[in-house]
A = this chain, B = another copy of it.
Amino acid sequence: MFKAIINADVFKDAIEAVSTLVDEAKFRINADGISARAVDPANVAMVAFDLNAKAFESYEATEGEIGVDLARLMDILGMASKDDRIELSLNEETRKLEIRTGGLAYTLSLLDPSSIRKEPKVPNLELPAKIVLNGADMKRAVKAAEKVSDHMALGVAGKTFYVEAEGDLDKVRLDIPESNLISIQASSDVRSLFSLDYLNDLAKSLGKAESVSIDLGSDYPVKFNFNIAGGNGSVTYLLAPRIESD
């Protein structure tokens, strides 16, 4: 059983954090909330998504799981206005999700959860540097880097977080000193290189977060973490590094 009501904007932002990476996902539902773990088809990026029952205006659920075509769901959510309420209700018999908003009733066919790619095990990384910054700053860095290259380094030098992208001809670098970060802790200088294709996808959701924490190592995956739904939920992205060739 699953029956819940939530603000349209909160729900759209939450689902978008997953849909930016994968087309379909298996959501686990229980009395505490809904969650998903998914990895992109190329095994480069992973998302861990948790939306607490408190994020909802009303929430009733027993344990279960549903397979969702995220593009179709986002399409439907796109019809709702900013302050609309979204009513969700699972029809167990037909295996369809009913979505009501502003008088409209959508019936969304669910996917067979067993047909969806297996949920990844999220590795527990211990990384030497942790940076916390405003998500909009991260998004701006990604947009700037895209102008010159298709990959981008994230690094820490002393107490400065930097991003750097180098194309065949041009180069862009953004240094964010400790004074412009929310916080920075680093037991050593670190630097890893990542694909801008992926970072650009993640930047959509990262850019909306007031505070994004970044765990970084040298030639190691990076971990981004931020809250959604006003703190009643969280999203974690893990992104594998690319080999720096010079």
- With a 10 A CB-CB cut-off, give which of A106, A170, A176 has the most chain B CB atoms: A170
Evaluate contact between A170 and B108: CB separation under 8 angstroms.
yes
Evaluate contact between A172 and B106: CB separation under 8 angstroms.
yes
Task: Collect the chain B residues with CB atoms within 8 Å of residue A175's CB.
Answer: 103, 105
Evaluate contact between A170 and B79: CB separation under 8 angstroms.
no
- Residues 180-221 of A at the B interface (beta carbon under 8 Å): 180
Task: Collect the chain B residues with CB atoms within 8 Å of residue A76's CB.
Answer: 147, 170, 172
Evaluate contact between B170 and A103: CB separation under 8 angstroms.
no
Give CA–CA (A189, B6) in the complex, Å.
34
Evaluate contact between A169 and B105: CB separation under 8 angstroms.
no
* Interface membership of chain A positions 100-120, coded 1 if the CB is closer than 8 angstroms to chain B and 0 otherwise: 001111111100000000000
A36 at the interface (CB under 8 A from B): no
Evaluate contact between A105 and B173: CB separation under 8 angstroms.
yes
Out of B102, B107, B170, B172, name the residue touching A171 (CB < 8 Å): B107
The interface residues of chain A, by DSSP majority, are classed as: mixed
A82 at the interface (CB under 8 A from B): no
Evaluate contact between B170 and A72: CB separation under 8 angstroms.
yes
Task: Collect the chain B residues with CB atoms within 8 Å of residue A171's CB.
Answer: 106-107
Contacts A104-B173, A105-B172, A173-B105 given; does A143 touch B79 at CB 8 Å: yes
Out of B103, B107, B141, B170, name the residue touching A107 (CB < 8 Å): B170
* Interface membership of chain A positions 55-86, coded 1 if the CB is closer than 8 angstroms to chain B and 0 otherwise: 00000000000000000100110010000000
Evaluate contact between A172 and B104: CB separation under 8 angstroms.
yes
**A–B pairs, 13, beta carbons within 8 Å:** A76-B172, A79-B140, A79-B143, A79-B144, A79-B147, A104-B173, A105-B175, A106-B170, A106-B171, A107-B171, A107-B172, A108-B170, A109-B170
